[in-house]
Structure formats: structure tokens, C-alpha cells
Amino acid sequence: MKIAVIGVGYVGLVSGVCFSDFGHHVVCVDKDPKKIETLEQGELPIYEPGLDVLLAKNTAAGRLSFTTKLPEALDGADAVFIAVGTPTRRGDGHADLSYVLAAATEVAQTLKHYSVIIIKSTVPVGTNQQVEDTVRSAAPDLDFDVASNPEFLREGSAIDDFMKPDRVIVGAESERASKVMADIYRPLYLRDYSILTTDRESAEMIKYAANAFLAIKITFINEIAALCERVGADVKEVSRGIGLDGRIGNKFLHAGPGYGGSCFPKDTSALARIGQENAQPVRLVEAAIQVNEDIKRRMIEKLLDLCDGSFSGKAVTVLGVTFKPNTDDMRAAPSLTIIPALLGNGAKVRVVDPHGYREGLELLPGVEWYDDVYKAASEADLVVVLTEWNEFRALDLSRLALGMATAKMADLRNVYSAEEAQEAGFVAYSSVGRRNLV
Ligand code: NAD
């Protein structure tokens, strides 16, 4: 099969590379010439574990190429994936569909033969129909179908998620489109997974409902964590205890500094707007958004307590700035709320992150970047574990404490424990939803 992928972001690039690894011929197109140039040189514009190997393998095999020219990508394509961004629209919280609709119009103006236009971007219910109407009015004689195929990969484990998905969701309205979709995903059939073919509106809703459910789950445990701190319970024990119940499951029950990232904040916001616009507010989702904001604020108060009520003149070392480990993505990362609050109130902030520098340099002006945790914490007043990269999970706490001006730690990912911290010489240790040392 010949596949075109529009957008080489986290989703488009992983999808394109993985489709080529299935054996399809893939051309990825992006408007950003810098990203395409980087890819043409065999390098990656993003950090995603394992992607470099598959990129090299499939470009060498002649199955994968990159261009800024849409006609090149669409030439002979059986399927065209639109994987452009759908960020929050300024002002009203709705998903901004301008990139999707612009891409659809460009496809309509370029495509000359039957193809299935597949919306991989996360889009509100009705968008596939809107894309179909847009293409039809721009190219009334074009033979095409529009299908929905939302993506569920997680940054940091994107290749595994793509190659071994729990399920593939397809929303299609014609046999012909369903057949093309089945052919694209056929190489996965040997694995034990489900392909659910449904109508386009349900496919669109499945993506938002899945993300909202996960955002609510993580927010639930974060709120329980806040209560645990008040009543003297340990949220790690509580998570384990409730997660053993098969109806609840043990995933997404790790308390932390509130959800961030490129999907949950914008998708919960878009779903809330869809509810309001349809006179059916999704109040649980609205509450999760609010509670998540409160949780982030609570984290800043936690740090303030550790700094005896003032950040002024304090040296704070932050470990991890990306929204989660194994990605360089910083969209809506908790660090973007916490670090400006520290800097704005007079703290000197040093940061360490294995892959956060490229994005973070611009997003976090005023911080000092370090490669080495111990150097970054030398003479510091507080260390904050903000992203649980492997590099920060097995620190020599005694060495860390010894080098600090005042050995205090805010462990916002519950990597360590109050006992360990105390033994290592920390005079204060605060985590999320557990016993603290203060
Ligand atoms: P991204 O911002 O990383 O990438 C989007 C890319 O599209 C950019 O490189 C941009 O230059 C390109 N682009 C925009 N308009 C274009 C056009 N007309 N022609 C060619 N290229 C164009 O976005 P992302 O994180 O990959 O997300 C894409 C979609 O997938 C979003 O709807 C998102 O919600 C959804 N999604 C993302 C994830 C994730 O983990 N990032 C997971 C599942 C679903």
C-alpha cells in the first residue's frame, strides 16, 4: 500500500515510521522545512525511544521518505492520514480545527484519484463530516472517503503502543474505506488485539471519552492523596489496595503533581466545551479540570512550606521538566507552572533533564541548566523531583544531602520515602499523599 501522512509531530511521525515498518510505502509531509530537513538527514526532530532505529531501517529499505511538497506525498496514495495538531483554541477552550481543515482543503486541491482521507488527529464529534464537506466543496468531482482513526499511543512508549495496540478504532461509512483501513492494519492481525469498526461519530467520541476517563482517574487519586496527607494514610498503599480490584485496575493510580502533557489538558477542555455547547455539560470532566488546577497550586504551596514560607534568595534544583519521562515534550508540563512560580518569587532555579533542554531552553527563561544532578544540587536549599526519569530514581541520597545547603526534598512523584530521606540526612522530605518528614 502507499500511504501519505500529513504532519510529522509525535503522532504523525511515529505512525508513518511504524506503517513503513509494516511494509507499506510511506511518504510523510510537513509544512515545517526544519523538521523535514532533519528527517532527511536521518535525524529525529523529537525524542522518542527506539524511533531512530526504525527510521534508519525503513528509510534504508526505501519504504519511508519525507517531503514538504504535498503533491509528492499524495502521488498514488491509497490512504492519506491527517495527523496535524488540534490545540486548544484561544479564548474558548474548544479544539482548534484550523490545521485539520486547512490540511483537508490542501488535500482536496491536490488529490487526483480515489483515496481514503483518514483523520488521526483528536477531533470533536462531527469533524469527520466537516472534513468530508470541506473536501467535497473544494473538489466536487473527487472520488474519496473520509474515515476516523483516532490514535492512542503514549509518548515515551509510542512504538510499542503503535505496534501492539490494545485496540484500533476505525470510524468508516463505506465498505471501500473499511477495506482500505483493514489492509493498512492487516500486519497487526497476528497479534492479539481488537479492531473496532464503528461509525465516525462514535470513533471521535471514543478518543475523548478515553482520555477524559484517564484524566478523571488520575485526578481522583490525586485528590485522595491530598486527603491521605490530612488523615495520615499512605496513597501508595491505597492505590495498591484499590488497584487490586479488577473493576478498578492498577494503572493510572500514581499520585503526582497533576496531569499535564499534550493531550489530557486540551482534550478534557474540548470535551467540556462539547458538553456545554450541546446543553449536556460533562460535569465530572469539568470538575477534574478544576481539581487538577488546584493540585498544581497545592504543589507550589508544598514547596513554599519547605522553603519556610519564602522562595526569595533560595536555590532550588528541579529534577525533570518534561511532562513525563522518556519524552522531550513539554506541552502543559507541570514544570511550566511550578518553575515560573519559583522564579517569580525570587528563587534561583537550576534544572536537570535528560531530554528537556531543546524545548525547555525557550520555555523556561531564567533557569540554569545542568547535566549532573549532584552538581545542580550543590549548595541548594531544596531539590524537587518533578519528572520520574530513570536517571532520578536511584540517586545516592546521602551524597545529594551532603552537598546541599539545607537538605530538603520535595518528591512530587513519590520515588523515595520519608524513611530513606531521613536516613540519608535530609532534614525535610515532602511527597504526595504520604507521611512527610518536616
Ligand atoms: P504536533 O504538534 O507534534 O505535530 C503536528 C505537526 O503537523 C507539526 O509538525 C506541524 O508542522 C504539522 N502541520 C500542521 N499543519 C500542516 C499542514 N497543513 N501540512 C503539513 N503539516 C502540517 O502534534 P501531535 O502531538 O503529533 O498531535 C497530533 C494529533 O494527534 C493531535 O490531534 C493530538 O491530539 C493527537 N494525539 C496526540 C498524541 C500525543 O501523545 N502527542 C496521542 C494521541 C493523539
> Containing domain of residue 210, as a range?
205-438
Residues 251 and 113 in one domain: no
Same domain, 154 and 292: no
Q: Could you tell me if 61 and 79 lie in one domain?
A: yes
Domain final residue pick, 151, 180, 198: 198
pLDDT score at 190: 67
Q: Closest residue (by CA) to atom 18 of ligand 1?
A: 103
Looking at the structure, do residues 164 and 224 belong to the same domain, yes or no? no
Write down the pLDDT at residue 247: 98
The rounded Å distance from CA 82 to ligand 1 centre is 8
One domain for residues 293 and 144:
no
In the listed set 198, 233, 264, which residue is the last one of a domain according to the structure? 198
- The pLDDT of 175-184, averaged and rounded, is 97
Give pLDDT tens digits for 30-61. Answer: 999 999 999 999 999 999 999 999 999 999 99
Contact 195, 167 (CB under 8 A): yes
**Which of 198, 216, 245 is the last residue before a domain boundary?**
198
Counting ligand 1 atoms within 8 A of each CB, the residue from 14, 30, 109 with the most, and so the one to mutate, is 30
Do 26 and 122 fall within a single domain? yes
Q: If pLDDT is split at 50, 70 and 90, which confidence band does 194 have? A: confident
The count of structural domains within the chain is 2
CATH number at residue 132: 3.40.50.720
Q: Among residues 340, 415, 420, 348, which one has the least CA distance to residue 385?
A: 415
Do residues 313 and 272 share a domain? yes
Residue with cell 514547596: 303
In 10 A of CB 325, how many CB atoms? 20
Tell me: do 175 and 212 sit in the same domain. Answer: no
Predicted ipTM of the assembly: 0.99
307 in catalytic set: no
CA of 13 to the centre of ligand 1 (A): 9
66 and 32 in a single domain? The answer is yes
Residue 91: pLDDT band (50, 70, 90) is confident
- In a 13 Å sphere around the CA of 99, the CA atoms on its Cβ side amount to 20
| Same domain? 209 vs 186 | no
- Looking at ligand 1, which atom is closest to the CA of residue 45? 9
Task: List pLDDT tens digits, range 256-298.
Answer: 999 999 999 999 999 999 999 999 999 999 999 999 999 999 9
Which strands make up the sheet holding 144-148, listed edge to edge? 64-67, 25-29, 2-6, 79-82, 115-119, 144-148, 167-171, 194-198
Q: How far is the CA of 262 from the centre of ligand 1 (A)?
A: 10
- The active-site residue out of 18, 28, 263, 307 is 263
Ligand 1: residues whose CB is within 6 Å? 6-12, 29-32, 35, 83-86, 99, 102-103, 106, 121-122, 151, 153, 155, 262-263
Atom index in ligand 1 nearest the CA of residue 11 equals 26
Are residue 344 and residue 397 in the same domain, yes or no? Answer: yes
pTM over the 0.90 mark: yes
Q: Is the pLDDT of residue 431 over 70?
A: yes
> In this model, does residue 16 exceed pLDDT 80?
yes
User: Quick one: 346 and 432 in the same domain?
Assistant: yes
Strand order across the beta sheet in which 428-430 lies: 368-370, 348-352, 315-319, 382-385, 408-411, 428-430
- Give the pLDDT confidence of 232-254 residue by residue, as tens digits: 999 999 999 999 999 999 999 99
